[in-house]
Amino acid sequence: MAFTTVLIANRGEIAVRIIRTVQQLGFDAVAIYSDSDRHSPMVTLADSAVYLGADDLSQSYLNIDAIIDAAKRSGADAIHPGYGFLSENADFARRCQEQGITFIGPNPETIALMASKRLAKIAMEQAGVPCIPGYQGINQTDDALINKAQAIGFPVMIKASAGGGGRGMRLVETPEDLVAALTSARAEAKSGFGDDELILEKALTRSRHIEVQIFGDGHGNVVHLGERDCSIQRRHQKVIEEAPSPAVNAALREQLGAAAVLAGQSCQYLGAGTVEFLLDDNNQFYFLEMNTRLQVEHPVTELITGQDLVAWQLKLAAGEPIPLSQSQIPLSGHAIEVRLYAEAPSQGFCPQTGSVLHWAPYSADGIRVDHGLVQNQPIGSQFDPMLAKVIAYGDDREQARCRLIRALKNTSLLGVHTNAAMLINLLNHEVFRQGEATTGFIETEFGSDPSLSQAVIPSWLWALAACVMAQQPNTGGSALNLANPSRLRLKAQEDVAELQMSFDSSGWRVTADGQQHQINLSRDGAAVHASIDGLHQKFTAVNHGQQLWLGYQGQTFQFEEFGYSQSPKNVHDGDGVIRSAMDGVMQRIEVDVNDRVSKGQTLGFMEAMKMEMPLIADGDGIIRQILAQPGQQVKRQQPLIEITHQENDHDHA
């Protein structure tokens, strides 16, 4: 082999996954880490680890100089970039090359070509790969883009040329919305990628997102390993991926594979790549983009082919030929992957922060969980909100689907809210069951699902929470010795419940919301076994100060105890103070002091966990103060803008 020690220039679950294959092949693995990752599994698993600095990405995982220096200090002669961060950064690949370090990926020229959606599309058109009608010219003025959009026809898709992950992307339905969308897309592209160049494409509103995994050995030899269906997306970011696609038959698979191989051959591709297509309802497919790296969803391809794609990357980077010919690559069974995010679907998918108080991934035949989590690990706003990937394999699609639902219901993560309940409902939805979901599925057919609104907590769950809070782990009775009826007041979300409860030899009797419940429970650590009105069920629970985190069937609830002198705080109660929903960066302000605003008006935007979040006026009034400026780091609940509401605004009457 051409190298002996591999530094993984990444973090979290992908770093853990790469380390394992690196070590299985007999190489040494080096991890890099920032402050919040100091005790993460990747540091523990690696043969050595190098501290980069603070969590600020410019000082850690995006710091090319520090990473190159870490490779030299640790004796690493190869670098695997994982995905995200610097994985598609041509300058990083070039620096590795200049320092005599093997970059496990394509050459810098290929990365640079495919990093530009504009240049990539031009190259694919020249190679004969089918492309979506659109505009990828150098004239970037508003007038030019408006004229081209009108020629293409609405709806039209705006995309950041240097973008990815849905950032800098806007769907425009009517000409009236175009200028505002161009301004917003440019700003997000500039902030996220340092490049505000845009392209336009005809929007295929009822399309599927199909991608083909390819590998090249740098000598013109390219093969594909089948397709993945990534149509289930929210805000243009993938949520569920599966292989093979339920929409692709053998003949279409051959056509897709041939087009993807042609794309790879056109640029002498080396290593792992993914050619992404949109498939319309007439089974016509069009080139979307090419990712010059390993994909988040690569496990589904590994499961249906039986191949370790990271091992293929390492071998090809060392100069070996492609391990199998096209005819030798098996495609068997079905695999589905879901991305477990730290986000609240009921709050517009707002990213969530916190600390991992309990983590217990489900383990069973046909289940794979890729993660980089550890107890007490902080979940901050500086990184992508994806926490783990849960993948199921089955002999057929239905078996994989059922296994995955069970895995999600029995995976427990407490301390931060996740999208697990939404994932379960997605997998159970009839449109998904029938394999008919398109890229607009979540916004259209799934838009009224209960997981997208605040959960209604039933009386029995309030009662159970009160009992769990009162009864400590590993005790069979009441820690509070409540022989006589007692009253307890709990809050969850923005709801409040007053409960009357008592305990005797027969267990707990609790009245919640006018309903009486009989509860018996036992606790063993985080495991809770409870009989509620005669029905035995399993839960997970962690006490954290005055709070209780309770997990049940993929749902997570956070309860808080407070006395009668207290009242629940509602940061959205119309007090005129617009606060940050979480830690992040102020992006832009769209109002000035003394401006008159209306309830629901967008006042500005902040960014956290790669997501742009609007700041919305909570009532009619006048801007009194602007307390944060663009580029400023802000903390959760930090006041950003103050409004004097009209009913209290005597000075401006």
For 209-223, the pLDDT digits (tens) are 999 999 999 788 999
pLDDT at residue 573 tops 70: no
285/415 same-domain check: no
Provide φ and ψ at 152, rounded to 5°. -70, -40
Instruction: Judge if 301 and 355 occupy the same domain.
Output: no
Contact 197, 173 (CB under 8 A): no
Between CA 243 and CA 484 the distance in angstroms is 59
Which CATH number covers residue 599? 2.40.50.100
Structure tokens at 623: 């801007």
Domain with residue 519: its CATH number is: 3.30.700.40
Average pLDDT over residues 385-412: 97
Q: How many CA atoms lie within 13 A of 299 on its CB side?
A: 24
pLDDT band, very low/low/confident/very high, at 15 (cuts 50, 70, 90)? very high
Contact 524, 513 (CB under 8 A): no
Among candidate residues 253, 293, 401, 579, the one labeled active-site is 293
Q: What is the pLDDT of residue 610?
A: 62
Phi-psi domain of 354 (left: phi exceeds 0; alpha: psi -120 through 50; beta: other): left
What residues make up the domain containing 372? 333-453
Mean predicted confidence (pLDDT) in 162-169:
79
Residue 404 pLDDT exceeds 90: yes
Q: Is residue 565 very low, low, confident or very high in pLDDT (cuts 50, 70, 90)?
A: very low
| Structural domain count of the chain | 6
Q: Name the pTM for this structure.
A: 0.84
Across-strand partners of 388? 340, 371
In a domain, 571, yes or no: no
Question: In angstroms, rounded to a whole number, what is the distance separating the alpha carbons of residues 496 and 567?
Answer: 9
In a domain, 443, yes or no: yes
Question: Does 475 score more than 60 pLDDT?
Answer: no
Are 260 and 149 within one domain?
A: no
Strand bridging mode 515-524 / 527-532: antiparallel
57 and 116 assigned to the same domain: no
- 435-449, pLDDT tens digit by residue? 999 999 999 999 999
pLDDT in tens, 346-396: 988 989 999 999 999 999 999 999 999 999 999 988 888 999 999 999 999
Is 566 part of a structural domain of the chain?
no
Is the pLDDT at 529 greater than 80? The verdict is yes
Name the residue among 274, 403, 395 with its Cα closest to residue 338.
403
Say yes or no: 182 and 215 in one domain: no
Average pLDDT over residues 77-104: 97
Tell me what pLDDT residue 571 has: 37
Q: Are residues 115 and 221 both part of a single domain?
A: yes
pLDDT band at 1 (very low <50, low <70, confident <90, very high): low
- Residue ending a domain, choose from 316, 332, 348: 332
Specify the 3-state DSSP secondary structure of 468: helix
Give me the CATH number covering residue 83: 3.40.50.20
Closest CA to 4 of 21, 32, 25: 25
* pLDDT for the residue numbered 487: 83
565 vs 128, residue with greater confidence: 128
Q: Residue 567: pLDDT band by 50, 70, 90 thresholds?
A: very low
Is residue 650 in some structural domain?
no
Where would I find the H helices in 383-530? 397-409, 420-428, 430-433, 459-470
Is the same domain home to 32 and 90? yes
Strands (E), 259-325: 270-279, 285-291
The answer to whether residues 114 and 252 belong to one domain is yes
Q: Catalytic site residue 636?
A: no
| Contact indicator for 603, 597 with CB cutoff of 8 Å | yes
Pick from 564, 557, 625: which is nearest to 589 by CA?
625
CATH number at residue 241: 3.30.470.20
Written as six digits, the tokens of 522 are 């036992």
Render pLDDT for 230-281 as a digit per residue (tens, 0 to 9).
999 988 889 999 999 999 999 999 999 999 999 999 999 999 999 999 999 8
